[in-house]
Amino acid sequence: MMRHSIVARPVRQILRGALLLCIALAPSYAATNYTISLANSEQHLVDVQILLPEGSAQRELQLPVWNALYQVRDFAQYVNWVRAKDRAGKVLSVRVLDKSRWQIAGAQGGAEVEYQIFVDSPGPFGAQFNGHHAFFNLAQLLMYPVDARNEPMVVRFSHVPEGWHVATPLTSMPEGRFGADNYDRLVDSPVEISMFKESDFDEGGGRYRVIVDAEVADYHMGKIDGMLRKIVAAATSWMDDRPFENYMFLYHFPRGPAGGGMEHAYSTAIAVSAEVLARAPDVLASVTAHEFFHLWNVKRIRPQTLEPVDYSRQNPTRALWFSEGVTNTVADIMLVRAGLIGEDAYLRHISAEITELQQRPAHTWQSAEDSSLDAWFEGDAFYRTPERSISYYNKGDILGVLLDLRIRESTSGKKSLRDLFQWMNDHYARQHRFFPDSEGVQLAAETTTGQSFTDFFRDYVAGVKEIPYNEFFQFAGLQLITKTVEVATPGFTTTANLGGQPEVSHVDGNSEAQHAGIAAGDRITAVNGAPADAFLDDELSRMRPGSTVRLQIENRKGRREVTLHLGAGEEQIYELQDLPVVTVEQRAHRAAWIRGDDELGGAP
């Protein structure tokens, strides 16, 4: 999952390097200097000091209300107090302008602003400081001077516990400081401070650093490196591009519920629970391929509606079906190219995505674009119910597959989704331009093929017309069939916020679950003694109808245990199968499609 700054290009990088060097050598009057003090891990309190350079007398400081995750989280709720003084130590007045903005008066000669903030939210989108580690999404704790957001920023960490080290994609500077060209870059750089383990490797001219903060018994660094080499080689060769020198993978494998990934321009932070890692190691490769491809799609091939980022309120965009969903499509192609999954798994994955979309009643009234606009509701359990919403990850993933097939069909296999992405990379990212949401994707498809995609975008992207799947899949010799299967039903369904615990979204009327008092909004924390995760519904549906499950449930009233008998139900699922007759040509199309290759000159 997973989600967001500005394009950096080789020439600009060189200029930036020179700029940072100047900052390093001269006293940094022009830069905003932050000191983050790690003095109080027990209470999860971080002290922040901001040195503002000389400037206008009245300065405003803004703490973002959101970052990374498309949810307003109002980080200011965790700020304990704010104080300011001038360079001579005279107290300056601090006035609250709104819940996330402060005004400092008398700062013309520079100012020293201090505040304390509570940070204890786990996961790759959060900021957490405890006796074990500090992990920072810096937007969650650093206010920015509104008039200097685009100026250089320097950050240092003080009172770092003994034995802990700092890992971050930020530029290293002398005296343990780190620099960024502007605030957006600063907060696009996660920071891990702990006794992490690390590894690194070169691949195709790029340097990769791997940071793991987890119990050593829970993972194997050599296996992770091996997987990463395959993924980065597959993705950089598919894009024919490597817009960075250094890239960092930052992993957490906590014991207990966790999950999710956060993309950045030069790094990614990923959390997978140790239990899931042990049970389904493929999850790690899948999240990693998704987040790595984001370094192009969304970080550099970036929708106009996300720029400039508005940190003071939500930033609606119609493009998440493409930026997130089609990132899923490509991630699967990368896994095939990397040799980490086979063709069957690729097709099974598409079938499962189609089943998911078709089973949600909301697919008949919420479009992929509307679902993108409504991303800001995703923190809410009611919004995530099948009656209320579809997921732009899910429909976008399918749209990516269909777009790929339509491009191939209209060019007899000579062009593909790969050409669309390379065109968008050349035409937008490398030109430092943002793309105009769905219209930009449509333009890319039409330029790639020389044919109109008006109907496709009107009906399936902006619209909710039922998708005639077989019209797309026949090109690859496939058909979509429906099947009725028996499943176990617990009498309720759950949804999980990114990486969180499953939360009950719907309870069937007159079911055992309803009689047991299970209600929408309850969190399921454990199933038969094991921690529950986002895959709970699948897990329960695969159990034997009639068997009993022990659920641990938490809500506002407390925690309790409930034992339920699973009922039996039927479910309609979709499956991709061979057409009765598959031609040699169709086989060749299928092989090229699944591998993400163009068919040159029509040869298989």
Which residues are near Zn ion by CB under 5 A? Answer: 1-2, 324
Nearest residue (CB) to Zn ion, 70 versus 144: 70
User: Residue 496 in contact with residue 502, Cβ under 8 Å?
Assistant: yes
Beta-bridge mates of residue 111: 52, 86
Question: What one-letter code names the amino acid at 516?
Answer: A
Nearest residue (CB) to Zn ion, 142 versus 326: 326
Which residue from 106, 108, 105, 140 is spatially nearest to 122, judged by alpha carbons?
140
**Shortest spacing between CB 125 and Zn ion, in angstroms:** 11
User: Residue 181 in contact with residue 152, Cβ under 8 Å?
Assistant: yes
Give the 3-state DSSP-derived string for 5-36, with helices as H, strands as E and coil as C.
CCCCCHHHHHHHHHHHHHHHHCCCCCCEEEEE
**Shortest spacing between CB 298 and Zn ion, in angstroms:** 7
Nearest residue (CB) to Zn ion, 157 versus 296: 296
What is the C-alpha to C-alpha distance for residues 329 and 335, in angstroms, rounded to an integer?
10
**Shortest spacing between CB 73 and Zn ion, in angstroms:** 18
Peptide bond into 308 cis (omega under 30): yes
**Shortest spacing between CB 336 and Zn ion, in angstroms:** 19
Strands 165-167 and 79-86: unpaired
**Shortest spacing between CB 391 and Zn ion, in angstroms:** 12
- Kindly compute the dihedral angle of the four CA atoms of residues 422, 427, 431, 433, in this order, to the nearest 10 degrees: -110
Nearest residue (CB) to Zn ion, 1 versus 31: 1
Shortest Cβ contact with Zn ion: which residue?
2
Query: What's 435's DSSP letter?
Result: B
**Shortest spacing between CB 292 and Zn ion, in angstroms:** 10
**Shortest spacing between CB 341 and Zn ion, in angstroms:** 18
Nearest residue (CB) to Zn ion, 393 versus 492: 393
**Shortest spacing between CB 228 and Zn ion, in angstroms:** 18
Nearest residue (CB) to Zn ion, 70 versus 157: 70
Q: Tell the residue number behind the tokens 């192609």, with chain if given.
A: 333
- Kindly compute the dihedral angle of the four CA atoms of residues 147, 150, 154, 157, in this order, to the nearest 10 degrees: 80
What is the C-alpha to C-alpha distance for residues 263 and 268, in angstroms, rounded to an integer?
5
Query: What's 575's DSSP letter?
Result: E
Dihedrals φ, ψ of 382, to 5°? -65, -45
**Shortest spacing between CB 377 and Zn ion, in angstroms:** 17
* Gap between the terminal Cα atoms of the chain: 34
**Shortest spacing between CB 323 and Zn ion, in angstroms:** 7
**Shortest spacing between CB 325 and Zn ion, in angstroms:** 9
Query: What's 75's DSSP letter?
Result: G
Extended beta strands in 73-214, E state: 79-86, 94-98, 101-104, 111-118, 128-129, 134-136, 144-145, 153-158, 165-167, 171-173, 177-180, 191-194, 197-203, 206-213
Nearest residue (CB) to Zn ion, 1 versus 117: 1
Nearest residue (CB) to Zn ion, 236 versus 288: 288
| Cα Rg, the chain, nearest whole Å | 25
Nearest residue (CB) to Zn ion, 293 versus 346: 293
Which residue from 245, 246, 178 is spatially nearest to 20, judged by alpha carbons?
178
Nearest residue (CB) to Zn ion, 243 versus 413: 243
**Shortest spacing between CB 497 and Zn ion, in angstroms:** 15
Nearest residue (CB) to Zn ion, 2 versus 461: 2
Nearest residue (CB) to Zn ion, 157 versus 292: 292
Q: Is 9 exposed, middle or buried (CB count within 10 Å of its CB: 0-12, 13-18, 19+)? A: middle
Task: Tell me the angle at which helices 327-337 and 343-359 cross, rounded to the nearest 10 degrees.
Answer: 160
**Shortest spacing between CB 103 and Zn ion, in angstroms:** 36
User: Residue 483 in contact with residue 572, Cβ under 8 Å?
Assistant: yes
Nearest residue (CB) to Zn ion, 286 versus 541: 286
